[in-house]
Structure 1
Amino acid sequence: MTDRERTFVMVKPDAFARGLVGTVISRLEDRGLKLVGMKVEVLDEETAHEHYAEHTDKPFFDDLVDFITSGPVVPMVWEGEDATRQVRQMIGATDPLEADAGTIRGDYALDLGRNVVHAADHEDEGANEREISIHFDDDDLVSYEGHDETWLYE
């Protein structure tokens, strides 16, 4: 097992419907991050409420739950040095209109409510562990040495 960080990422129903799952995975792999867990599922309301618990009192909460439960999602766990910060940088600002070109949201999303991908917040300590535990059991995640890791890290 490496000492590298694990982070949670979820391809949302809009990206799934548009056939962008492979694109998101490729972008993260191209960066050098390592996929250690993945599944396809349709979230039920209970799981959606648990996942977005920090937004319960916000006016957009019901719309958020309706959207995230509207179709298949792809929850994933990625591993790498400072993985959470790297992923957040790669996906771009939550509002796609503010996301830089070259980020996933900047390249593929047009609407705040349909912004392609969710990723754990690097500024919210414990977000990764909480979100990973909602979607994965420990035995759902794998540990392995990637063949390219000696070329990615000193």
Structure 2
Amino acid sequence: MALFPRCLLRGVSSQIRNLNVMPSSPKFMYESARCSSNTSGVRERTLIAVKPDGVHRRLIGQIIQRFEKRGFQLVGLKMLRVSEELLSQHYSSLCKKAFYPSLLHYMTSGPVVAMVWEGHNVVRSSRMLVGDTNPAEAPSGTIRGDFSIHISRNVIHASDSVDGAQKEIALWFQNSELMEWKCCDHDNLYQF
């Protein structure tokens, strides 16, 4: 039994007793596949971007590790120098703010690592992993709480809503840059 996914050990093990089937039988395989198909909402995606200060401070690996440890799946990744045109679309709601020119200067001061992560409630969970925009208010254990020192250099961007994530992903990535793949532990992580 050690080789079977956790899903099989939880829900299907009782079905095995009730069905009186062997783990190698077709009926068992059907039941285990049915068990792992209840993954609604798992394919939610979010945009995460390590800002220039995070790249300069070599925090990319530690940031990726936090998302991987949480069980999210990386489906898009690239390093780029962000154009002012892209930033004007991304930060369109901030363009009238007094700090907008300094934001543009900051975001174009070095490379950015843009990522798309996929998983159950990934938008909301990512916001919790990232922490408050103001690092002084971000709890220890969050990315900003651990790595940021000032609101103007807060290391990372995370989409703030599912709709916002969809718009941002379309802005930063072409469909051909996003991978459709299933991680080997997917069924273990997303058996509800």
Instruction: Give 1 or 2: higher helix fraction.
Output: 2
- 1:87-106 pair list within 5 angstroms: 87-106=126-145
Instruction: Give 3-state SS (helix, strand or coil) of 1:76's partner.
Output: strand
Moved more, 89-98 or 48-57: 48-57
**RMSD (CA atoms):** 1.1
Which letter maps to 2:81? V
Moved more, 27-36 or 44-53: 44-53
Out of 39, 55, 63, the position equivalent to 1:16 is 55
C-alpha offsets along residues 34-60 of structure 1, whole Å, 9 cap, x if unaligned?
000010001111111111111111111
What's 2:44 paired with?
Answer: 5
Match status 1:138 vs 2:144: no
Match status 1:126 vs 2:157: no
Instruction: Give 3-state SS (helix, strand or coil) of 1:63's partner.
Output: helix
Whichever of the two has the greater Rg, that structure is: 2
CA distance in 1, matches of 2:75, 2:180: 7
Unaligned runs of 5+ in 1: none
CA distance in 1, matches of 2:94, 2:154: 17
CA distance in 2, matches of 1:126, 1:84: 10
Instruction: Give 3-state SS (helix, strand or coil) of 2:53's partner.
Output: helix
Which letter maps to 1:141? L
- 1:31-110 pair list within 5 angstroms: 31-110=70-149
Unaligned runs of 5+ in 2: 1-38
TM-score by length of 2: 0.76
CA distance in 2, matches of 1:54, 1:32: 32
TM-score by length of 1: 0.94
Aligned residues: 151
CA distance in 2, matches of 1:99, 1:131: 23
The percentage of aligned residue pairs carrying the same residue is 43
CA distance in 2, matches of 1:6, 1:56: 26
Instruction: Give 3-state SS (helix, strand or coil) of 1:40's partner.
Output: strand
